[in-house]
Structure 1
Amino acid sequence: MDLAFSHASNQRVLRQRNFLVVVAGALAAITALLLAFGISRDREIVLQPVLRSPVTVSSAGVSREYLEMITRDVVVLTLDRSPQNLEYWMNAVLEITSPRVQGKIKADLLKIVNEQRGSSISQFFTIESMDIDPKNLRSEVTGELHTIVGNKVISRERRTFRYDWEYEGLSLRLVGFGMVRTGKEQDK
């Protein structure tokens, strides 16, 4: 009788063990699926509405609207400057710059700061058109660059500026900007 009771008890423990192994395997499979889904899923952050419409940023890439709005603001930041705001101007540009190119861009900005410091030369840019390429993370902006000495406008020149960007994670960073030279300007 003890042998039959022992055998029945062992069979019950074996069934419980097998059931727990199946449940543990199913939970492991579900966890693996959820983990794979979580890693591969595009992340989005909803930003506050900016002028025209709400903006979302996705890990899948930069939307045309977002790149256009950022370019518009960065154009104002990079091209509007006066001797009174040179330090702020340089630091603000460096804050939006990718860490991998900050040294080069800082050197270029310091040349401008040193040339313009103590002068009465200011400049501002009026945007006429933008060419936005979210696939290649490039923006080109055309407009008039106004140069002012004291309180007198001494030049108004039509110029095009290019902005190059990088997008990592959910962060858009400036990697380069400058004036685009046309064929006529290169011949001079």
Structure 2
Amino acid sequence: MKEMEVVNSKLRLQRNVLVLCMATMLISNVMLAVKLNNQEKIVILVPTLDKELAVGTGFVSEEYLKLRAEQIIYLLFSLRKENIEYVKQGLLKQIDSQSYQEFKAQLEKLSLDIKERGYFYIFNDIQKFEIDSKDLNVKVSGYLETYLGNSRIDRKFKEYEVSFVNRGGVVNLKSFSEVKNEKNS
């Protein structure tokens, strides 16, 4: 009988040690899962050297002009009834002082038209860029879509010219205009 008690005692001890090991492993796995879930995720974007965005007092790279033209076009064609004042202020900050009043008048006319009629434009499906880094002009060709509410009411091929001025390394918008020719008449 004493022998049986010793064997039962050893078996209970082994069972308790095994339960303790399993509980410890379960707790450590839960703690590891919580730590991995709460770990901060870092995304690293590797810079590329395929675009030279160089601006100097007498030089502006083509890639920089293209980027600035895309920025201006995006702002102009993101005008909506709901965001007119905000976008206008962003655009007016981009204008050269000598062209400010003329461009502001054009922008006011467009804004008033959008407010009254409730339409908006999207310029997309860009076909080409013609960049003249000497004269700081960029011609952009693509399709202008006109929307009224959620319905597209028109789609036309258009070409726009965005002109800039470089004042001591600061490149500001000089003008934005539609290029009139046989293609988009």
Whether TM exceeds 0.5 here: the answer is: yes
TM-score, normalization: structure 1?
0.67
Q: Note closer, same or farther for the CA distance 1:54–1:138 as it changes in structure 2 (3 Å cut).
A: closer
- Write out per-residue CA displacement over residues 71-121 of structure 1, whole angstroms, 9 at most, x where no aligned residue: 122111122321111112221111100011101111111111111114331
Q: Note closer, same or farther for the CA distance 1:154–1:55 as it changes in structure 2 (3 Å cut).
A: same
Query: In structure 1, what residue type is equivalent to 2:66?
Result: E
Instruction: Write the distance in 1 (CA, Å) between the matches of 2:145 and 2:158.
Output: 10
- Pairing of 1:11-160 with structure 2 (within 5 A): 52-53=50-51, 55-126=53-124, 127-160=126-159
RMSD between aligned residues:
2.0
Q: Does 1:180 align with 2:158?
A: no
User: How many residues were matched structurally?
Assistant: 138
Instruction: Write the distance in 2 (CA, Å) between the matches of 1:157 and 1:57.
Output: 34
Give yes or no for contact 2:157–2:184 (8 Å, CA) kept in 1.
no
Q: Which entry has the higher C-alpha Rg, 1 or 2? A: 2
- Write out per-residue CA displacement over residues 116-163 of structure 1, whole angstroms, 9 at most, x where no aligned residue: 114331111012211000001111000000111110111111000001
SS at match of 2:59: coil
Instruction: Write the distance in 2 (CA, Å) between the matches of 1:66 and 1:50.
Output: 15
SS at match of 1:116: helix
Deviation at 1:171, TM superposition (A): 0.4
Give yes or no for contact 1:94–1:106 (8 Å, CA) kept in 2.
yes
Deviation at 1:53, TM superposition (A): 3.8
Deviation at 1:183, TM superposition (A): 3.3
Higher relative contact order (CA 8 A, sep 6+): 2
Instruction: Write the distance in 2 (CA, Å) between the matches of 1:162 and 1:84.
Output: 27
Stretches of structure 1 lacking an aligned partner (at least 5 in a row): 1-48
Instruction: Write the distance in 2 (CA, Å) between the matches of 1:50 and 1:144.
Output: 30
Instruction: Write the distance in 2 (CA, Å) between the matches of 1:51 and 1:160.
Output: 30
Stretches of structure 2 lacking an aligned partner (at least 5 in a row): 1-46
Q: Note closer, same or farther for the CA distance 1:105–1:50 as it changes in structure 2 (3 Å cut).
A: farther
TM-score, normalization: structure 2?
0.68
- Write out per-residue CA displacement over residues 31-54 of structure 1, whole angstroms, 9 at most, x where no aligned residue: xxxxxxxxxxxxxxxxxx689546
Q: Note closer, same or farther for the CA distance 1:161–1:50 as it changes in structure 2 (3 Å cut).
A: farther
Deviation at 1:55, TM superposition (A): 2.7
Structure with a larger share of its residues in strand: 1
Instruction: Write the distance in 2 (CA, Å) between the matches of 1:83 and 1:51.
Output: 39
The runs of at least 4 consecutive aligned structure 1 residues that moved more than 6 Å come to none
Q: Note closer, same or farther for the CA distance 1:53–1:138 as it changes in structure 2 (3 Å cut).
A: closer
Give yes or no for contact 2:77–2:120 (8 Å, CA) kept in 1.
no
Instruction: Write the distance in 2 (CA, Å) between the matches of 1:132 and 1:179.
Output: 16
% identical aligned pairs: 26
